[in-house]
Amino acid sequence: MSDKIPSQVIEVAAPVQKRKALDDSGIHTRSFTGLYRNLRIGFAGALFVLFFSTAWLNWNGRQAVLWDLSESKFHIFGATFWPQDFILLSALLIICAFGLFAITVFAGRVWCGYSCPQSVWTWLFMWCEKVSEGDRNQRIKLAAAPWSLEKVARRSLKHGLWLAIGVVTGLTFVGYFTPIRALAIDLFTLQLGGVPLFWVVFFTIATYLNAGWLREAVCLHMCPYARFQSVMFDKDTLAVAYDPRRGEARGPRKKGSDPQVQGLGDCIDCTLCVQVCPTGIDIRDGLQMACIGCAACIDACDGVMDKMGYARGLIGYKSEHNLHGGKTHWLRPRLLGYAGALLLMVGALSVALDMRPMVSLDVIKDRSLFRENAQGQIENIYLLKIINKTQQPQQYHLRLVEAEGLELNAKTVFAIPAGEMNELPVSVALLAERPADSTQELIFEVCALGAPSTCSQARSRFVAPLNR
């Protein structure tokens, strides 16, 4: 048996010069309408409503969603999460990643095209361009025209809209970490300063640059998702694709003429698919890393097919099997595996949230090993940090567990307000005159009165001298 790898020579056609949706001034997309554009507007609208409105909601007298960095608490409606609960945040991020993987295996980069904030804000900034500078041809002419009063006015309006959106975006984002009502008042009365002002300005500039100037460069060169998406694709993954079997050979023709007589396919080579693409690619060249799956080219092509009286779908969401005349396999091992793992993780997170202890106890032992009290007993000092994670004030009972020969000297019944932490210094005394060992393990337990299942335990050690 030969150990050589069989090879096959593939003839590569000479590159054809194509008309692009860009010139020296960058990419200028054409306006269009269609089903997928409407879907994208719907998803973008939902994202805007969720992002801009949630920060202004109140819940029980406080901001409904607030990451309070000063007190290390994360409020989300009726729940309060502390640093001890951040493992749940990690689990949520892993679930989101697996959800993205599952969506990618099923339908490619639909997340990028419909819901990614970079894409959504870029589409909004492109709409501002259309409002201030006109449609594609007008913008190209304006970019090439010498500076005039009209050009300055149109460009000023565009950048003014971009900056206004950037300010609102930066204010809202920072408002999830600092109470947004006070933040907005201080900003618009010019009283905001220090760290909040820095971050509002930072995210304003980031939004302005990313959505206004960088745009497709973020997707092409900065986003890692574009680099590893192909690893998750298989021959049944739906992706925006051009059907060369139906479209080739390309060429113009009169409406109503028979393309087969002219030796042509359905593609009339109008390049509208290129003109509407936000990354400036030609989908007819095949699947490309720069394609974000926004389906703008599908809407543009379907409109042309309708005018020509041809069937829609020359460009559409197709799998590799579709492009070769086969059928897409909807239920396949990889997709089922991702879906199964996703369901298991969502179930596990739901159980973890339901079983999350609503009281937390941390024990910090005093740096001194031990001391002798007024009764001549050896005692150790501890600082207990007790967190009430519920949304109601609670009374708690503190006791020692499995601590034979030790006595707790502290207030054992106390109250903690809703969502607050109480620091309680306590001492533990040795009752025996001579300890059996220099160190002894002890367990502190705190339980809510009237709710014995709401308990938390923390271990520590008691230190005593062997010789007295």
pLDDT in tens, 199-210: 999 999 999 999
Structure tokens at 344: 């298991």
Q: Which one has a higher pLDDT value, 14 or 418?
A: 418
Structure tokens at 385: 């940090």
Q: Give the closest residue to 72 by CA, choosing from 362, 349, 383, 387.
A: 387
pLDDT score, position 265? 95
DSSP state of 83: G
Give me the sheet containing 73-76, strands edge to edge. Answer: 65-68, 73-76, 79-81
**Span 33-62, average pLDDT:** 94
Span of 102-111, 198-207, 378-387, 426-435 with lowest mean pLDDT: 426-435
Task: Tell me the Cα Rg of the chain.
Answer: 32
Question: Residue 123 half-sphere exposure, CB side, CA atoms within 13 Å?
Answer: 25
Q: Give the closest residue to 38 by CA, choosing from 26, 50, 46, 30.
A: 46
pLDDT score, position 276? 96
In b/e form, how buried is each residue of 329-365, taking b as 16+ CB within 10 angstroms?
eeeeebbeebbeebeebeeeeeeeeeeeebbbbbbee
Q: What confidence category does residue 24 fall into, taking pLDDT thresholds of 50, 70 and 90? A: low
Going from the C-alpha of 178 to that of each of 62, 65, 73, the distances in angstroms are: 12, 10, 12
pLDDT score, position 439? 84
**Pairing mode, strands 406-409 and 359-365:** unpaired
pLDDT score, position 467? 62
Q: Which one has a higher pLDDT value, 158 or 62?
A: 158
CA dist 119 and 111 (Å) reads: 9
Helix axes 225-232, 86-107, angle to 10 degrees: 60
Q: What confidence category does residue 161 fall into, taking pLDDT thresholds of 50, 70 and 90? A: very high
Q: Annotate 353-378 with DSSP letters as a single string.
A: HHT--SEEEEEEE-SS--EE-TTS-E
pLDDT in tens, 256-310: 888 989 999 999 999 999 999 999 999 999 888 889 999 999 999 999 999 999 9
Q: Annotate 266-324 with DSSP letters as a single string.
A: S-----HHHHT-TT---GGG---TT-----HHHHHHHHHHHHHTPPS-SEEEE-HHHHT
Cis bond upstream, residue 451 (ω within 30) = no
| Long-range contacts of 75-83, Cβ-Cβ distance < 8 Å, separation of 24 or more | 75/419, 78/391, 79/391, 80/389, 80/391, 80/419, 81/389, 82/360, 82/387, 82/389, 82/421
DSSP state of 189: T
pLDDT score, position 341? 92
pLDDT score, position 232? 84
Mean of all residue pLDDT scores within the chain: 89
122 pLDDT more than 50: yes
pLDDT score, position 4? 55
CA dist 368 and 394 (Å) reads: 32
468 pLDDT more than 70: no
Can you tell me whether residue 260 is helix, strand or coil? coil
Structure tokens at 55: 């920060």
Structure tokens at 437: 């060992």
Q: What confidence category does residue 13 fall into, taking pLDDT thresholds of 50, 70 and 90? A: very low
In b/e form, how buried is each residue of 126-162, taking b as 16+ CB within 10 angstroms?
bebbbebbeebeebbebeeeeeeeeeeebeeebeebb
Asked whether the beta carbons of 225 and 284 are under 8 A apart, the reply is no
Helix axes 194-207, 180-188, angle to 10 degrees: 80
Q: What are phi and psi of 124, to 5 degrees?
A: -65, -40
Q: What percent of the chain has pLDDT over 90?
A: 64
Dihedral angle of Cα 167, 168, 171, 176, to the nearest 10 degrees = -150
5 pLDDT more than 60: no
CA dist 231 and 234 (Å) reads: 8
Q: What are phi and psi of 439, to 5 degrees?
A: -130, 150
